[in-house]
Chains A and B, each alone.
Chain A
Amino acid sequence: MKERIRVLWLAIAVGLLAVAGLAVADDFPEGCVSCHGQTSSEADFRLNALLTQIGHRWIKTLKEIPEDCGKCHSGDDQEKTFMAMIHEIHYDVPKANLFTTRYGGECLHCHSMNVETGEAALKSGPKNW
């Protein structure tokens, strides 16, 4: 299954695309960390803060997100693959899920598409904590 589908991890995925003559900036060029930021001193939406609140440890040492999450979240032996976990978190109960209600549920917030080769990839970026 895992072999079936390949996702390229991009060190930096920044780009502009002219569609229908309009150049549109990507609001989330680095995927996870572009959206999971600190919006105020009260509202910390960064992944280290979120994960700490659900009792997750060992996230201090990571560098590239989400690439380095795969140091542990890899292989099919786990109860849930990283993909299944992240897809579920962002798409479960769409009517109440902020990712769909507020951010439109776009695949391209996390993924990118290489229009030359047709390979879909996952955006990534350095941790913001």
Chain B
Amino acid sequence: MIARSLSMRMPAILLVLTALSFGPTAGHADDYPDGCISCHVSEKLSGAAASRIDLLLASVGHSKAGERTLVIPDGCQRCHAPDDKGTATALGKLIHVVHFRGGAENRFLKRYKGDCSFCHRMDTSDWEVVAKSGERNWGVKVGAAD
């Protein structure tokens, strides 16, 4: 649906990201076929590579529900429902903000130039865009005592 009314809510500072074509990138979007978990692989919280998502979520004080999720990011939507009617904010907005905020300081922009295709894929059967998804790359903790 083409929602005209929404244009009224345009905030004062609107940054339009541009397609950038300078400098080396850390890989091509196709090298990350499963999206989040193809890129977030480091066992350490700080380092050259992006850290595993369970570690990142723990570091910002997220509940263990993130860690228990099997398919990333699809399973996260049981709380972060896309229509914002779940118990938590829609995942797209949260994930966009953490990957695009902060300008030059942001490592996703710096290393990956903010390319949407690291996370998204065009489904050529119906031309809808989906978030790439895959099974978590950390040990199963379901049932383990906290």
Contacts and interface: CB of A to CB of B under 8 A. Distances in A.
A2 interface: yes
Contacts, number: 141
Interface in B68-98: 82-83, 92-97
A88 to B, nearest CB: 5
Interface in B85-126: 92-97, 100-101, 103-104, 109-110, 113-114, 116-117, 120, 122, 124, 126
Nearest to B106: A19
Contacts of A109: 19
A29 B23 CA distance: 22
B4 A113 contact: no
Nearest to B85: A3
B16 interface: yes
A17 B7 contact: no
B101 A115 contact: yes
A39 interface: no
Interface in B1-35: 1-4, 6-7, 9-11, 13-23
13 contacts: A8-B7, A11-B7, A13-B16, A17-B16, A19-B103, A22-B22, A91-B122, A111-B116, A112-B14, A114-B14, A115-B96, A115-B101, A118-B92
